[in-house]
Amino acid sequence: MERLLALAVETVPRALGLCDRDPGSPSAGCCDRNYWHYRILDVANARFQEMGLLFALAYDTPAPGNPFAGRQRMADWARMVWRFWLRCRNSDGSVTEVYPNERSFCGTSFTAAGFVETVRLLGGAAEWRDELAEARTTFAWLGVNQNPEVGNQMAASWLALEGYARLTGDDAAAGQAARRRRAFLDSQWPDGTLPEYGGLDAGYQTITLSVMASLARLNPADRELAEALRRGGQAIAPRIAADGAMDPAGNSRNTQYLYPHGLAMLGNGLLERVLAGIDARTVLRPTWMDDRYCHALAADYFLAYRELRHADDHAAANCAEAI
């Protein structure tokens, strides 16, 4: 468990260096250094703004090995990151990843999910009332757009819509979340595959399982979701060796990474393989990833650590009650 925390914490300084943290800068909060610092891009990639969730998790995860916990600057920088995200969106609420006037379903889904998860961690709806109101167009856009060929994106859009509906009480968003839930769960194959462009990709499936774990925390009584999560773990088990090694050639999208959060909730032995792979250096660590992906994997390591700690706390409470 502590290995996950250490690797997440190790990535935070790098992420901070990618962020424009000067409050007087016109690009304050932008985390795409190629845009705000080197000025070699005409548009900022909105996916970098998910660093706001990483900063929020670093702030909100108290542990002896986390020097960022409780540091107000981390919370302030997280908010600055999401304020830039609000400013850089398209007029219809969607976001750009690569080229001007792009409307990325993937980027909109994951950044919106990161935004609502940050709000939940750092004060809730009352503290973020203005930002939530300004973000409404993004969730309206997500409710009428989808990419059913890609499981991880559909799951992220469901988490975004569900989180926003719960924070704001928005009935339209709640209805859209319910429809997205149904579409996502119906897309799972009988063998547990959550398809990525027509096939199983173990790496992307761990991202999807991570999002599903966050949804399960919001919906602990959703037994259909819990069963889908269990079957999703079963589907990738044969792909991950005891030392965490995985053959990317067998994946529909050739991924090489593994996200641990969903595996931590499953408790089916797959996380132990990832931990063994960390020790054997057969599993990609957050700091080994490029700037575009290091922060997302680090945030998932924080989430996995928190999931394991939650399980330990729950077990301790049950033991105390038994005594």
Q: Flag whether pLDDT at 312 surpasses 70.
A: no
Pick from 158, 173, 273: which is nearest to 215 by CA? 158
Q: What's the rounded Cα separation, in Å, for the pair 319 and 166?
A: 32
In this prediction, residue 318 has a pLDDT band, given cuts at 50, 70 and 90, of low
pLDDT of 215 reads 98
What number of other Cβ atoms are within 10 A of residue 99's Cβ? Answer: 10
Q: Mean pLDDT lowest for which of 11-15, 244-248, 279-283, 319-323? A: 319-323
Q: Give percent of the chain with pLDDT exceeding 70.
A: 96
Residue 91 has pLDDT above 60, yes or no: yes
pLDDT digits (tens, 9 = 90+) for 151-198: 999 999 999 999 999 999 999 999 999 999 999 999 999 999 999 999
69-87: average pLDDT: 98
pLDDT over 60 (residue 315)? no
State mean pLDDT over 232-238: 97
273 and 244 in contact (C-beta within 8 Å)? yes
Name the pLDDT band for 323 (thresholds 50, 70, 90): low
pLDDT for the residue 274 = 96
Alpha-carbon gap, residue 292 to 225, rounded angstroms: 30
Q: Is the pLDDT assigned to residue 39 strictly greater than 60?
A: yes
- Using the predicted structure, report yes or no on whether residue 15 has a pLDDT greater than 60: yes
Where residue 316 falls among pLDDT bands split at 50, 70, 90? very low
Question: CA-to-CA distance for 308 and 92, rounded, in angstroms?
Answer: 39
Query: What is the per-residue pLDDT across 107-119, written as a single tens digit (0 to 9) for each?
Result: 999 999 999 999 9
Average pLDDT of the chain, as a whole number: 95
Q: Which of 131-135, 243-247, 297-301 has the lowest mean pLDDT?
A: 243-247
